[in-house]
Amino acid sequence: MSQTTITHRSSEEILVLRPSRGWSALNLIDLWRYRELIYFLIWRDVKVRYKQTALGASWAIIQPFVTMVVFTILFGNLAKMPSDGIPYPLFSYTGLLPWGLFTKALSDAGRSMITNRSMITKVYFPRLAIPLASVLSGLVDFALAFVVLIGMILFYNYNPNLEYQVVLTPAILTLPLFLVLALITSLGVGLWLSALNVQYRDINYIIPFLTQFWLFITPIAYPASMIPEKWQLLYALNPMAGVVEGFRWALLGADTAPGPMVAVSALIAVILMVTGLYYFRRMERTFADEV
């Protein structure tokens, strides 16, 4: 497992298994060898997710859409929350997209080592494949919900009764970067939670609480511009803040480019992922014994 070294000598693979101690290398080559397994795990996740549900994959759309409607009524109409000059439904739905990806990763990846216990105790494969597949399978839901966003943008653009016009700027080309940032954040948090969950089942109870708390500190129902200038960078320590602001800027052409904020968020996201990877690798060798 951990300290496994594979050497090639006269075209023969020699595998050495010995006790591993301390921090081990990430062994991403092994993960690459098992890329087909990651693909199959994602495929299984997607296939199984909406089996035996009456509405099937439309759940991927219903969840953010209904949340958007509720937010619009409560925060947009009743509380008169500012939305940077963007129609409130569009404003909140754009934030809910990466948010959905993130929360799904939090709960699915966080529990993934437990739900896949039978595999972990019976077969070798790079354990990283499991939380990675959990995070990536969220992309399918994301894509479905994204189609609705495109529909909403078209609706606001070609409805002459509305004075608002979405201006697609070259900023849209940066959207994939913000998506990658969302994935890095999700993977980072997912890795930490999944590895901790093997040893401490408290994580199962922390996940719903954490999700709720995190929603409050992420600019989904409200704009980040509401946060006083001097607290902005502190606020950006939540990488999802940078992600959501970035999504709005790239897609809706919100006026201000989220410069330093995104930089801070990206830095934190990368730190989360790298530490998550190493922590996961360190704990990996005890997974089969403790899970």
Partner 1 sequence: MPDLAIRVENLSKQYKIGVSQERYRTLRETLVEGVRAPLRRFSPANRLSAANGAERNRIWALRGITFDVRKGQVLGVIGRNGAGKSTLLKILSRVTDPTEGYAEIHGRVGSLLEVGTGFHPELTGRENILLNGAILGMKRTEIERKFDEIVAFSEVEQFIDTPVKRYSSGMYLRLAFAVAAHLEPEILVVDEVLAVGDAEFQRKCLGKMSDVAQEGRTVLFVSHNMSAILRLTEETIVLDKGQLVMRAPTAAAVDYYLSSGYAQTGERVWTADEIPPEAAPFRPQSLRVLNASHRVVDMVRSTEPVTVEIEYALSAPVSGLRVGVYLLTTRGEQAFTSFDTDDAELYERFATRPAGHYISRFTLPPDFLNEGRYVIGVNASTFRVKRYFIDEQALIFTVDPAGAPGMQWQEPRIGVMRPRLEWQIEAL
Residue 199 near partner 1 by CB under 8 A: yes
Among 52, 170, 209, 229, binds partner 1 (CB under 8 A): 52
Among 198, 207, 252, 254, binds partner 1 (CB under 8 A): 198
Task: Give dist(CA 86, CA 78) in Å, integer.
Answer: 17
Q: Is 27 in the site for partner 1 (CB under 8 A)?
A: no
* Part in contact with partner 1 (CB under 8 A); list of ranges 18-26, 84-92, 153-161, 272-280: 18-26
Estimate to the nearest angstrom the gap between the alpha carbon of 217 and the chain centroid.
16
| Residue 4: CB minimum distance to partner 1, A | 7
- Exactly one of 97, 106, 120, 221 binds partner 1 (CB under 8 A); that residue is 120
Q: How far apart are CA 164 and CA 85, in angstroms?
A: 8
Q: How far is the CB of 82 from partner 1 (least distance, A)?
A: 40
- Told to check if 265 binds partner 1 by CB under 8 A, we report no
Position among 26, 31, 37, 153 found at the interface with partner 1 (CB under 8 A): 37
Q: How far is the CB of 289 from partner 1 (least distance, A)?
A: 6
Q: Please, is 46 exposed, middle or buried when counting C-beta atoms within 10 Å of its C-beta (0-12, 13-18, 19+)?
A: middle
Q: Which stretch binds partner 1 (CB under 8 A): 120-128, 182-190, 227-235, 241-249?
A: 120-128
Q: Does 288 bind partner 1 (CB under 8 A)?
A: yes
| HSE value, Cβ hemisphere, 13 Å, CA-based, for 23 | 8
Alpha-carbon dihedral of residues 71, 77, 83, 84, nearest 10 degrees?
160
Closest Cα partner for 268 from 189, 206, 166, 213? 189
Measure Cα distances from 254 to 78, 118, 171 in Å.
23, 48, 10
Q: Which two tokens stand for residue 131?
A: 């939380």
By the rule CB under 8 A, 285 interacts with partner 1: yes
**Do 249 and 273 meet the contact criterion of CB atoms below 8 Å apart?**
no
The tokens for 185 are: 């954040």
Q: Which of 23, 29, 32, 40 binds partner 1 (CB under 8 A)?
A: 40
Q: Name the 3-class secondary structure at 122.
A: coil
# binding residues, partner 1 (CB under 8 A): 42
Nearer to partner 1, 80 or 122 (CB): 122
Tell me which residues touch partner 1 (CB under 8 A). 1-4, 12-20, 34, 36-37, 39-40, 43-44, 47-48, 51-52, 116, 118-125, 198-202, 285, 288-290
